[in-house]
Amino acid sequence: MPDHETVGFTNNDLDQILEHGLSIEEAIRQMTIFSKGIPKTFLDRPAVVGDGIVRLTALEFQVAADFFDQHKNGLKLKKFVPASGAASRMFKFMSVFLKEFDVSNDTINSYINRHKATDLSIFMAAREKFPFFEAVNSRLDESYTDGEIREKDRRSFEFIKMMLDENEFDFANKPKGILPFHRYADRIATPVEEHLREGARYASSDGISNLHFTISEGHRQGFEEIVSKVKPAIEQRTGIDIKINFSYQHQSTDTIAVDMDNKPFRDKEGNLVFRPGGHGALIRNLSEIDADIVFIKNIDNVIQNHDAIITLYKKALGGLLLELQQEVFSLLNQIEAGNANEAFAEEAISFLKKKLHVTIPPDFGKYTRENKIDFIFEKLNRPLRICGMVKNEGEPGGGPFWVVGQQGNVSLQIVETSQVEMRDPQQTAIVEKSTHFNPVDIVCSVKDYKGKKFNLPDFVDHERGFIVQKQKDGRDLKGYELPGLWNGAMAKWNTVFVEVPLVTFNPVKTVNDLLKPAHQPQ
């Protein structure tokens, strides 16, 4: 590894790096990543039903859900919700509109036609269906005297402006978790409330539901205010005691930015610029929580209809996990007890291949007995995750694939398109044959067979990060994002993909997604 002077660090830089919580070695490693680049993920084939993706019947899902209910008590369950992201992308088309539209000399209709602003057209036509319409509309009436904004286009412009104004509703700068998402007869609900309700339904045991939100520190008050408002009513309605905690992305997981020549990027004062390491940094947060079983679900993937269906499939994934975990622990305990004979090795290898989709080396039969058992133990004694997969309907993002590792081993992974060499026709063909999409619907076992927590950073594939191009102070820079939480950060976990119905995947990427049936009152 090069020294700090070779990569362009000064002695003052070293002090800044250490104060930020990074080691000098890690900072140098990040700098070498920019110069060497990140190798593309090499796909062997898509994971499909019957080859990497498990398809269950309705009866099998129900049996798995019942198994979960029968075995969950005595275990600490926790729902882990990444919730730090701001809602800026939800309202991006509105921000562009406010910058470009001349309310005095233009009409909204001509703007829509000129810019092909379909998103704006949809929003304007259906704005009364949004859960925040009444609140914004009332504030508009309070802020202007009668007749001041009676003209239709002016009122529409001021309506959007009020939604985004930092002194008013400031929706684009707030986290998605505390925005109004759903309208009920008696209230407007945020994603935080919906996650509390969900957690009480399926992520609870012994009358307790534990939820963990990863948030940005500056927005903690907003989350706590919502929790204090809605938690008592949900507890009373469900009879479940809800316990909530929060964590922030560790500063030490920030990464160093470089300029386009791969030299340290510096601000106007000549200091290094650090950037958040992306959601892959949350593997540290996940590793630090106390739980036996963890449900992972994104903050914006909540609905207000079909509660029973969501509960069924979540419990079913949990039941599949518990059943597999019992088999894994049984095999590991037999190894520890010294009962690992040749027949045991055959049984364990069959389990690894059929249930955990582990690829066995072609020369495994030539291993000594001791080496066979060491291989089996090492493959079994890992964190375990069950990942729901939905049929791909064109959503951007990651999907399930069989991936070739550096040693030639093939394993099941969730891969983003940006990680694949799309200039390679064969790799592109594999992507195009993909049938399923990753909705971030994951249930995890994060303790070993002795009840000891795994150190989850030990199971990260550090070669699976991302280089991104951004801007600061009007200048281009390159940033490094850590291996994604459900991509490279979980690359060395045991993984099982299960097909789940599309109703379980209803994210809100743009504000207009709130118009979909799953987010509208019945």
- Determine the pLDDT at residue 131: 97
Where along the chain do the CATH 3.90.550.10 domains lie? 38-85+176-332+378-519
The pLDDT value given to residue 144: 72
Q: What is the pLDDT of residue 145?
A: 60
Tokens 């990497």 map to which residue?
52
Determine the Cα–Cα distance for residues 322 and 328; give it in Å rounded to an integer: 10
For residue 146, pLDDT over 60 is answered with: no
In this structure, the dihedral spanned by the alpha carbons of residues 292, 390, 60 and 303, taken in order and rounded to 10 degrees, is: 70
Stronger pLDDT, 405 or 125, i.e. the higher one: 125
Count how many residues are written for the chain.
Answer: 522
pLDDT, tens digit (0-9, with 9 covering 90-100), for 311-364? 999 999 999 999 999 999 999 999 999 988 888 999 999 999 999 999 999 899
Predicted local confidence at residue 242, as pLDDT: 98
For residue 7, the model assigns a pLDDT of: 78
Work out the mean pLDDT of the chain and round it to a whole number: 93
pLDDT tens column, 266-290: 999 999 999 999 899 999 999 999 9
Q: If you classify domain 38-85+176-332+378-519 with CATH, what class do you get?
A: alpha beta
* Cα 181 to Cα 508: distance, rounded to the nearest angstrom: 9
How many beta carbons lie within 10 A of that of residue 170, not counting itself?
Answer: 13
Residue pLDDT, tens place only, 128-138: 999 999 999 99
| Mean pLDDT score, 27-44 | 92
Q: What is the pLDDT of residues 442-453, one digit of tens each?
A: 999 999 999 999
CA torsion 434→437→441→446, rounded to 10°?
Answer: 40
Q: What is the model's pLDDT at position 51?
A: 96
DSSP state of 242: E
pLDDT of residue 87: 93
* Residue 396 confidence (pLDDT): 65
Q: Which residue has the higher pLDDT, 150 or 187?
A: 187
Whole-number Å distance between alpha carbons of 312 and 314 = 6
Percentage with pLDDT > 70 across the chain = 98
